[in-house]
Structure 1
Amino acid sequence: MDPLPVSFTRKVLIASAISLAVVLGVWFLFHTAQIVLLFYVGVLLALVLHAGAGVLGRYLRIPGVWSLVAFLLLLVAAFWLVGRLLAPPVADQLNQLGDQLPEAVERLEERARQYPLVRRALDQLPGAVETVQQTDWLAGVRGLFSVTAAVLTGVAVFLAVGIYLAADPAAYTHVLVQLFPVARRRRIAAVLERLGHVLRMWLLGRALGMTFVGMLTAIGLFALDMPLALALGLIAGLLDFIPNIGPLLAAVPALLIALMEGPTLALYVAALYLGIQALEGYLIVPLIEQKVVRIAPALNVIGQILLTVMFGFLGLLLATPLIVMLMVLVQELYIKDVLEAGRSRPEPG
């Protein structure tokens, strides 16, 4: 038999099998995206817990699992203390914010109608402003804290995944490494270690940035005699987890409330938010990029939009860490292992 047809048929079958596997993989990921994303949240939580337990274990000289238990107890105590001190005033201010935002939108409409061009535009959208005024502006924020079955299930899933992974991460990485050929296992283990380090540093940078933004925002708004400074600072700190888009969303309620007091205060508030973001960009972000990978802002925004359209709020929340993970994998497994394989020295000039 002529070997050429057999070779061609084999290549066609291999290509067809690969194409089918890709299609099935995409279909599976799309239909299980929420579960996969929750699992990824659990992985991020495991990285934080494992790192914190390691530091605490070295300081207290206690073994791995017990250091994790001690770190979890320390976290619970810290959250209880912070909640005991800050929860009542913050909850009261969030309720006031929800009551005042519709009034702020109404006043903004009244001022905007003083300009003929804006008035004509609003007249062409009958009922739009009324719909906005009737919207619960804090529905998204309150939804994060609402006790629903879906939220409880999601929290239980990523907490369980995070704690189990943090208790014995080597066992799970060993199983994953075993899925690869023997010759590649050491390299895959090194890539996983690099990926874990990068994600831990990114999470640490985000935590520092969120704390920085939340505290400075609350202090700055208080200095401007702005009402609801604590609630607005909390919102700014939480939304700062989402780079680029989060700070814009956080500034909206603050500007609306400031406009109720007058345009001068609104300008000061806008300058405050811009100044804080500039400080974070020059202080926190460079520190993150020294230990992580540099993400082009345009790539980050595109990823956030795509993942939000595909998977909703959870996709927006996890867009940046997913992009970080993808970039590390591309650098390690494609650029270094494929494009730069066998290069013993840099190319001249």
Structure 2
Amino acid sequence: MNGQRGPRDEAYIEAPGPAELHDPLVRREFQKAAIWFGVAIGIGLVVLLAQPILVILGALVITSMLDGGTRLLERILPIGRGWRLGIIILALFGFLTWTVWLTGSQLSAQAAAMQQIIETQIGRISAFASDQGLTATPTDLKSLGNQILGSLGKVTAAVSTVVGAVTSLVMMLVLAIFIAVEPRLYERGIAWMLPMGRRAAFYTTADKMAWTLRRLMAGRMVGMAVEGFGTWILLLLGGVPMAALLGVLTGILAFLPNIGAIISGILIILVGFSAGVDTGLYAVGVYLAVQIIDGYLIVPIVAKRAVDLAPALVLGAQILFGALFGILGLFLADPIVAMIKVFLEERSRQNGAPAQD
């Protein structure tokens, strides 16, 4: 009180405060706090910008397909890359136009009829379950289905709508075309933001990711074609109703490993048994044959050696990404997991540790 120092005051040692940024201790603590603060901001931005980030990742996946088709076309058509890319883009838009025309002109009525068939079959299953002493009713099954579908896309539910899905697809296609025209330009732009000592490692990792995505998407596209057209033709020969619609749905769902096969199998079996027991058993045989050919012949030859992702890991990623980001996250779960796997393997190799499978 009188301005004089006492014994206790003399024992007190002054320590640097938060304003003393020139002090090494304060600078270290400030850097630690800034890192954690930056991580929190990054997580928040990822949640808020989930849909644009997924659109960009989807564009990279489509770019890998365009680039892979361009490289494949070079083997039989030795012309400039721009011309080959133009042929691939025209073929892609031609296929999309054909699919939209087929869906709009021929499959709309079948889709409405299929909904009625599925509801009728669910009612039959419920009645059979009731006869066996189970208490499940069609209302319960419908409520369960609505809960399952409603759980997908809580973060970006707009992506699940038709308008959102079409808009996202158009944005991904446009962005993918721009990137595919000059991929090295964007790769060098990203490398420019990195320190000089890390650029060589970045180029190596980027090349490995691109190669893996090309192989993964090549296997996926071949599998989609085989499952779609194979299911279509075989169901048509067996007299199964709505063979065209089931073939298109099977081909589209083949892009989703594990989950897609389960959904398409349920649809094929339900529609098959709606036409009789014999037709239903034939539909089951067609589904098993197509899945065996794709799973044990096409996937191991085309894609598994390049990616070799564990089925449980892919399924878990699909469930997680589907619940967080909706249908777009569900479709991109497999490529995202593949890119993460390549990044971790390359980082391990560059650090001198052997990569573990």
User: Normalising to structure 2: TM-score of the pair?
Assistant: 0.80
Structure 1 residues 51 and 253, CA, compared in 2 at 3 Å: closer, same or farther?
A: closer
After superposition, where does 1:243-254 map in structure 2 within 5 Å?
A: 243-254=257-268
Task: Work out whether 1:128 is the aligned partner of 2:140.
Answer: yes
- Whole-angstrom CA distance in 2 between matches of 1:41 and 1:246: 18
Which residue in the other structure is 1:347 paired with? none
After superposition, where does 1:121-160 map in structure 2 within 5 Å?
A: 121-122=135-136, 127-129=139-141, 148=163, 150-160=164-174
Is the contact made by 1:107 and 1:260 (CA closer than 8 Å) also made in structure 2? no
Structure 1 residues 28 and 73, CA, compared in 2 at 3 Å: closer, same or farther?
A: same
After superposition, where does 1:194-209 map in structure 2 within 5 Å?
A: 194-209=208-223
Task: Work out whether 1:332 is the aligned partner of 2:346.
Answer: yes
What is the one-letter code of the residue matched to 2:241? Answer: P
After superposition, where does 1:26-45 map in structure 2 within 5 Å?
A: 26-45=43-62
Equivalent pairs: percent with the same residue? 26
Q: Deviations over 1:234-273 (max 9, x none)?
A: 1111111111111111112222223333455434433432
Is the contact made by 2:160 and 2:326 (CA closer than 8 Å) also made in structure 1? no
- Whole-angstrom CA distance in 2 between matches of 1:25 and 1:201: 31
Task: Work out whether 1:167 is the aligned partner of 2:181.
Answer: yes
- Whole-angstrom CA distance in 1 between matches of 2:220 and 2:161: 24
- Whole-angstrom CA distance in 1 between matches of 2:75 and 2:301: 25
Which residue in the other structure is 2:121 paired with? 104
Q: Deviations over 1:7-35 (max 9, x none)?
A: 54443333222222222111111111111
The structure 2 residue matched to 1:23, chosen from 37, 40, 57, is 40
Is the contact made by 2:224 and 2:251 (CA closer than 8 Å) also made in structure 1? yes
The structure 2 residue matched to 1:234, chosen from 229, 248, 261, is 248
Which residue in the other structure is 1:73 paired with? 90
- Alignment size in residue pairs: 329
What is the one-letter code of the residue matched to 1:12? Answer: E
Which residue in the other structure is 2:155 paired with? none
Structure 1 residues 69 and 10, CA, compared in 2 at 3 Å: closer, same or farther?
A: same
- Whole-angstrom CA distance in 1 between matches of 2:145 and 2:202: 54
Structure 1 residues 101 and 206, CA, compared in 2 at 3 Å: closer, same or farther?
A: same
Which residue in the other structure is 2:5 paired with? none
What is the one-letter code of the residue matched to 2:269? Answer: L
Structure 1 residues 224 and 61, CA, compared in 2 at 3 Å: closer, same or farther?
A: closer
What is the one-letter code of the residue matched to 1:104? Answer: Q
Structure 1 residues 173 and 269, CA, compared in 2 at 3 Å: closer, same or farther?
A: same
Is the contact made by 2:219 and 2:298 (CA closer than 8 Å) also made in structure 1? yes
User: Aligned with 2:131: secondary structure?
Assistant: coil
Query: How well do the aligned residues superpose, as a CA RMSD in angstroms?
Result: 3.4
Deviation at 1:56, TM superposition (A): 4.3
Structure 1 residues 18 and 9, CA, compared in 2 at 3 Å: closer, same or farther?
A: same
Structure 2: unaligned runs, 5 residues or longer: 1-13, 17-21, 153-157
Structure 1: unaligned runs, 5 residues or longer: 344-349
Is the contact made by 1:102 and 1:133 (CA closer than 8 Å) also made in structure 2? no
Is the contact made by 2:159 and 2:327 (CA closer than 8 Å) also made in structure 1? no
Which residue in the other structure is 1:309 paired with? 323
Deviation at 1:74, TM superposition (A): 3.6
- Whole-angstrom CA distance in 1 between matches of 2:227 and 2:15: 71
After superposition, where does 1:171-182 map in structure 2 within 5 Å?
A: 171-182=185-196
Q: Deviations over 1:171-227 (max 9, x none)?
A: 100011112111221221111011101101100000011111122222332343211
Return 208-217 or 28-37, whichever deviates more.
208-217
Return 80-89 or 8-17, whichever deviates more.
80-89
User: Normalising to structure 1: TM-score of the pair?
Assistant: 0.82
Which residue in the other structure is 1:184 paired with? 198
Is the contact made by 1:214 and 1:233 (CA closer than 8 Å) also made in structure 2? yes
Deviation at 1:43, TM superposition (A): 1.2
- Whole-angstrom CA distance in 1 between matches of 2:299 and 2:90: 31
User: Aligned with 1:11: secondary structure?
Assistant: helix
Structure (1 or 2) with the larger CA radius of gyration: 2
- Whole-angstrom CA distance in 1 between matches of 2:57 and 2:145: 37
Is the contact made by 1:106 and 1:133 (CA closer than 8 Å) also made in structure 2? no
What is the one-letter code of the residue matched to 2:308? Answer: R
